Homo-oligomer: A and B are copies of this chain.
């Protein structure tokens, strides 16, 4: 089985956050396939001389089918998306289409992981993900709102830090306020909330707010929203979810000197 399709996570978009394994996967590919907004994240030198197939956001199935056709024709093909290849991204659709088309024996599937948006956002906010967290997409394009709301409430009841993907789009404006209200059934209004837009990309914005003060209208499709757990607080101007060290070790009671 020498024919291969590779799903590559591009990370946040900054070339400095693209690991060598992803770069190599693009360099060895004869065709690179992806949503045009993601293709724009790829450095021009990695696209040069390659067949590039890009379409709009809703052409996902056609695009992945075309990528499989290319790979079957013997062209090493890379399917790209931002963030990690496996978090709400293309690895699943490629695998699903391989199954539907019966290609398990004909194509090798490789998934190259990348830095997911949740980690890029967390790094800019401080350290909000030091304890258990739940990741929930607010897009109800493929998921009934009832399922989303049930998960929001379960996550809040379990006192998880909650990371919201796809919090808002031009078309979907009501989900985020409804989600914040659902989280508010178990989380206090003063719970720190971090909003990161375009992490590590031009136009990056980092906003610190609370569950009560977050301006939902300032959130867009290229945003990640992180809502703290009951222990999350601001420290040195950053969002911090402590792991419990202070209780266990009594931080700040004694200094130490490097040996």
Contact = CB atoms under 8 A, between A and B. Distances in A.
A181 interface: no
Interface in A47-70: 53, 60-62, 65-66, 69-70
Chain A interface size range: 35 or more
Contact of A16 (B17, B21, B85, B96): B21
Contact of A256 (B9, B66, B113, B130): B66
A30 to B, nearest CB: 12
A86 B127 contact: yes
Interface string A71-107: 0000000000000111111011111111111011000
Nearest to A112: B123
Interface stretch (A131-139, A167-175, A209-217): A131-139
Interface of A: 9, 11-12, 14-21, 24, 53, 60-62, 65-66, 69-70, 84-89, 91-101, 103-104, 109, 111-116, 119-120, 122-124, 126-137, 141-143, 147-148, 150-151, 153-155, 157-160, 235-238, 240-249, 251-252, 255-259
What are the nearest 10 A-B pairs in CB distance?
A154-B158, A100-B252, A92-B130, A92-B127, A142-B244, A104-B236, A91-B127, A99-B235, A16-B21, A66-B258
